[in-house]
Amino acid sequence: MNDAINPVAGPEDAEGGAGAGGPQHCGLIAIVGKPNVGKSTLLNALVGQKISITSRKAQTTRHRITGMRTLGATQFVFVDTPGFQTLHANALNKSLNKTVQGAVGDVDLILFVVEAGSFTPADERVLKLLGKGIPTVLLANKLDNVHRRGDIAPWLKTMQEKHSFAEFVPMSAKNAKDVERLFGICEKYLPEQPWFYDEDELTDRSEKFLAGELVREKLFRLTGDELPYTSTVIIDKFEEEPPQKKGQKRLLRIAATIVVERDGHKAMVIGDKGERIKRIGMETRVELEKLADAKVFLELWVKVRSGWADDEARVRSFGYE
């Protein structure tokens, strides 16, 4: 089975090819920030394909997700991290915060993502995690939401007083030109060394991992703020069957369990006459078939496991570090 998700080639990828004959550059770039500042949207834009799930619900990203993009002779290895959590000191959040702290200590560059024009106490707590020995770029995201651009200049001045940032980058992760410009900025900080991954790899995460993440994304998007963020998804079965005939696609057979805290949450996920869980399954299947280029058969179940987010052993058993 192919664990890596491969990209659709674009014109910018075809120009250099195989390192363009010159010395190769490669390095790790951590994307950090509080929940809901657009880190996963940025990662997907940089990689050129969806590998990290997004939703309006805080703490959607729960794992360290690595995404790669090779342009010319340079390979950019981006590390998306969970938003640093301070609201609840349960076992799950301690695990997530440990992931963030581990990611920022061993990289060549840090992209500290905040909303343009804003700096909250939650942003401040993330900033305190960042050491002074690694170059840090202040990435002022969601610039498209700022109505008066003149307000950004004094804000940037106050931000420089908070930390010795290497550069300031006002941008929108949804703007292709802004994303392209960011590659040029990041490239300056990456050392000359061989690439870590094959040229066509996009992520170190498997299709099995992506399947679980997509179910969780649809779960949060279709339940809104009613469902606690502690709900999670466990992949019980992931089997691949090769094509039966020439021209057919391989088949992925997947069974997953949605874990919730209470019986009321279970009823919410299932929905009236099972309509909501059917829609979660359908939207997951359609997107996964496109990303994995395969036929997907998906079964979903819902189980109640009260207090799992406070149980360190259960948190680890559910795949959190």
Condensed to tens digits (0 to 9), the pLDDT of residues 211-265 reads 988 998 888 888 877 775 667 888 999 999 998 888 889 999 999 999 888 888 8
**69 in Cβ contact with 48 (< 8 Å):** yes
Q: Is 78 left (phi over 0), alpha (psi -120 to 50) or beta?
A: beta
Question: How many Cα atoms within 13 Å fall on the side-chain side of residue 280?
Answer: 30
Architecture per CATH, 207-317: 2-Layer Sandwich (3.30)
User: Which tokens go with 11?
Assistant: 């014109």
pLDDT of residue 132: 78
* CB-neighbour burial class of residue 74 (10 A; exposed 0-12, middle 13-18, buried 19+): buried
Cα separations in angstroms, 38 against 32, 34, 47, 60: 10, 9, 14, 11
Say how far apart CA 99 and CA 17 lie, in whole Å.
33
CATH of the domain spanning 11-187, picked from 3.30.930.10, 3.40.50.300, 3.40.50.970, 3.30.70.20: 3.40.50.300
pLDDT of residue 102: 57
User: Domain ranges in the chain?
Assistant: 11-187, 207-317
One fold for both 11-187 and 207-317? no
Predicted TM-score (pTM) of the model is 0.70
pLDDT of residue 213: 85
pLDDT of residue 316: 54
pLDDT of residue 87: 47
pLDDT of residue 128: 84
Q: Is 247 left (phi over 0), alpha (psi -120 to 50) or beta?
A: left
pLDDT of residue 58: 41
Point out the residues of the chain with pLDDT beneath 70. Answer: 1-21, 53-64, 82-105, 228-230, 307-321
